[in-house]
Amino acid sequence: MRPSLPLGLFDLCLIPEHDTPPVRANVLATRGALNRIQPSSNLEPRRGLLLIGGPSAHFGWDDAGLRAQIAAVLAADPAMRWTLTTSRRTPASFLASGHDPVDVRLTVVPVAATGPDWLPAQLARAGQVWVSADSVSMVYEALTAGAAVGVLEVPRKRSSRISRGLDKLAGAGWVTPFADWQRQPRLKRPPQTFNEAARCARWIAERWFA
| CATH for 132 | 3.40.50.2000
**CA nearest 150: which of 100, 88, 61, 76?**
76
**Cα separation of 180 and 98, whole Å?**
26
In a domain, 188, yes or no: no
Residue 97 has a pLDDT of 65
**Cα separation of 91 and 63, whole Å?**
9
**Cα separation of 32 and 12, whole Å?**
17
Q: Does 202 lie in the same domain as 100? A: no
Residue 136 has a pLDDT of 92
Cis peptide before 101 (omega within 30 of 0): yes
Q: Does 107 lie in the same domain as 19? A: no
Q: CB–CB of 33/137 below 8 Å? A: yes
Residue 100 has a pLDDT of 47
State the sign of the Cα–Cα–Cα–Cα dihedral 11, 17, 19, 20.
positive
Q: Does 160 lie in the same domain as 82? A: yes
Q: Give pLDDT tens digits along the chain (210 positions).
A: 788 999 999 999 999 988 889 999 999 999 988 999 999 999 999 999 999 999 999 999 999 999 999 999 999 999 999 999 999 999 999 988 665 446 889 999 999 999 999 999 999 999 999 999 999 999 999 999 999 999 999 999 988 888 888 999 999 999 999 999 999 999 999 999 999 999 999 999 999 897
**Cα separation of 179 and 166, whole Å?**
14
Give the chain's domain count. Answer: 2
Q: CB–CB of 34/200 below 8 Å? A: yes
Give the number of other CB atoms < 10 A from CB of residue 155.
12
Q: Does 69 lie in the same domain as 166? A: yes
**Cα separation of 152 and 48, whole Å?**
14
Q: Does 49 lie in the same domain as 30? A: no
Q: Does 152 lie in the same domain as 63? A: yes
Q: Which residues span the domain enclosing 152?
A: 44-183
Residue 102 has a pLDDT of 62
Q: Does 52 lie in the same domain as 151? A: yes
In a domain, 151, yes or no: yes
Residue 99 has a pLDDT of 52
Q: Does 152 lie in the same domain as 67? A: yes
In a domain, 189, yes or no: no
Q: Does 55 lie in the same domain as 15? A: no
Q: Name the burial class of residue 93, with classes exposed (0-12), middle (13-18) and buried (19+) by CB atoms within 10 angstroms of its CB.
A: exposed
